[in-house]
């Protein structure tokens, strides 16, 4: 069974940084595109960033472009989200998700349990 486990969330001050990690297991991690999706308290889902299996394709939402960086280490079966210049509106549960199949842009077939990021002074 595919497993995705996020870590790294917590409290950060405005302007601060956090690095989220997502460990994938029970599947060939290097074969699949990965994404980060967030959900602010009481709000809907918001796509944040995606990275293709070989890192050829990387896309960001405008709301995080220039502040967040998505990356992956296929040797370590890990996905990362470096978040800099954090703002109050970045407060959310952050989910990592794996594409259902091999093509970039496939539906998000598997999700982690999420990690909470709170940005507050």
Q: Coil, helix or strand for 14? A: coil
Of 7-15, 18-26, 41-49, 71-79, the window that binds another protein (rule: CB under 8 A) is 41-49
- Using alpha carbons, list the distances in angstroms from residue 61 to 31, 68, 82, 105: 23, 10, 14, 14
Asked if 112 touches another protein (CB under 8 A), the answer is: yes
Provide, rounded to whole angstroms, the least separation between the CB of residue 109 and another protein: 5
* Binding residues with another protein: total (CB under 8 A): 22
Provide, rounded to whole angstroms, the least separation between the CB of residue 75 and another protein: 26
From 80, 52, 49, 81, select the one nearest 62 (Cα to Cα).
49
**Residues between 78 and 107 that touch another protein (CB under 8 A):** 95, 100, 105-107
Q: Which residues of 90-107 are buried (b: 16+ CB within 10 A; e: fewer)?
A: bbbbbbbbbbeeeeeeee
Asked if 2 touches another protein (CB under 8 A), the answer is: no
Contact residues toward another protein (CB under 8 A) are 35, 37, 44-47, 50, 59, 61-62, 95, 100, 105-114
């Amino acid at each position: 069974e595919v497993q995705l486990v996020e870590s790294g969330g917590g409290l950060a001050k405005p302007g601060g940084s956090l690095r989220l990690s997502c460990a994938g297991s029970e599947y060939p991690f290097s074969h699949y595109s990965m994404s980060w999706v967030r959900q602010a308290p009481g709000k809907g889902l918001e796509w944040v960033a995606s990275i293709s299996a070989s890192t050829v394709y990387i896309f960001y939402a405008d709301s995080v472009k220039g502040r967040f960086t998505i990356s992956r280490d296929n040797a370590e079966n890990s996905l990362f989200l470096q978040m800099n210049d954090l703002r109050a509106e970045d407060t959310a549960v952050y989910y990592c998700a794996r594409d259902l199949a091999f093509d970039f842009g496939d539906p998000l077939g598997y999700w982690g349990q999420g990690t909470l990021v709170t940005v507050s002074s």
